[in-house]
Amino acid sequence: MYENIKKEVMIEKHFGCSIGDISKSVIISPVWPLSGFTERAESIVREFKGWYKGVTMLYKGNPVTVISSGIGAPMTGDCVIALGYSECENIFFSGSAGAISKKLNFGDILVCSDAVIGEGFSRYHSNDIYTDCFGNIVSGSTDLANVIFQKAMITAHSLGVSVHRGRIFSIDSILGENKRSFDFMIKKGCDAVEMEVSAVFTASKAIGRNAAALITISDLPLKQRSLFEGIEEDDDKHYRDTALMLPEILLEAAISI
């Protein structure tokens, strides 16, 4: 029913700006504050405040749009679908995740171009709404992920953390993380679990855009070092140190495309 609404109206309602205010490369995150990006800007080209808040800024002479997408698959997925009314080409998603793979530790960086659907948003934007897509693999852009990986490697060395390529599971319920669901994720070859990436990839496919994800590890639930207990001060420091540097990695990747 929304197909006949003008693109300009959709962009104004969702982002509070004009189509031309959104750059070719867009960074979206449910958790990283806009200030982490704007403090690295040469200047702010446009600040917008629609349903989603964001800025277009100049970074090393290049325009980059950064948007706070909201937590969870519905908010972030709709943000990507709405970007389909703009002229953006590349979508860089970034958030945090709990590690499933034993090779991952606090503050490590995971670059993803594959995700397993564990959320409900994707069913509305896949090819067949009558078919349950739970457990299906949805892919983003390998080329975009390669660029992110290269930039992340430079920063990771200075932080003393590792960078990995891997697959992520997107879940709708934090308290749905239990033995049965973790067993399912492991069988699907997942390295970590969070709440948005599969929706981002499904939405980016629906609108014909490139997308990849940059994730940092915030907890190790299978080792009883979860969001609720067991995280030591040093663990939290590794995570926060990496999180502080993710805006720079994303901006460097965004201007390299």
Confidence band for 196, pLDDT divided at 50, 70 and 90: very high
Residues 6 or more apart in contact with residue 39 via CB below 8 angstroms:
none
Distance of CA 97 to the CA centre of its chain: 10
Give the ranges where 67-135 is alpha helix by DSSP (H). Answer: 73-83, 121-125
pLDDT of residue 1: 61
Residues 113-131: tens digit of each pLDDT: 999 999 999 999 998 999 9
**pLDDT at residue 215 greater than cutoff 90:** yes
- List domains and CATH numbers for the chain: 7-254 (3.40.50.1580)
The single-letter code of the amino acid at 228 is F
pLDDT of residue 211: 98
pLDDT of residue 236: 93
Whole-number mean pLDDT of the chain? Answer: 96
Residues 4-26: tens digit of each pLDDT: 899 999 999 999 999 999 999 99
pTM value surpassing 0.95: yes
Cα separation values, 134 from 71, 185, 199, Å: 20, 12, 12
Answer whether 76's CB lies under 8 Å from 34's CB.
no
Residue range 184-189: mean pLDDT, rounded: 98
Confidence band for 224, pLDDT divided at 50, 70 and 90: confident
**Taking the CB of residue 176, how many other CB atoms lie within 10 A of it?**
11
**Taking the CB of residue 118, how many other CB atoms lie within 10 A of it?**
27
Residue 80, phi then psi, degrees to nearest 5: -65, -45
User: What would the two tokens of residue 27 be?
Assistant: 């960074």
Residues 26-57: tens digit of each pLDDT: 999 999 999 999 999 999 999 998 999 999 99
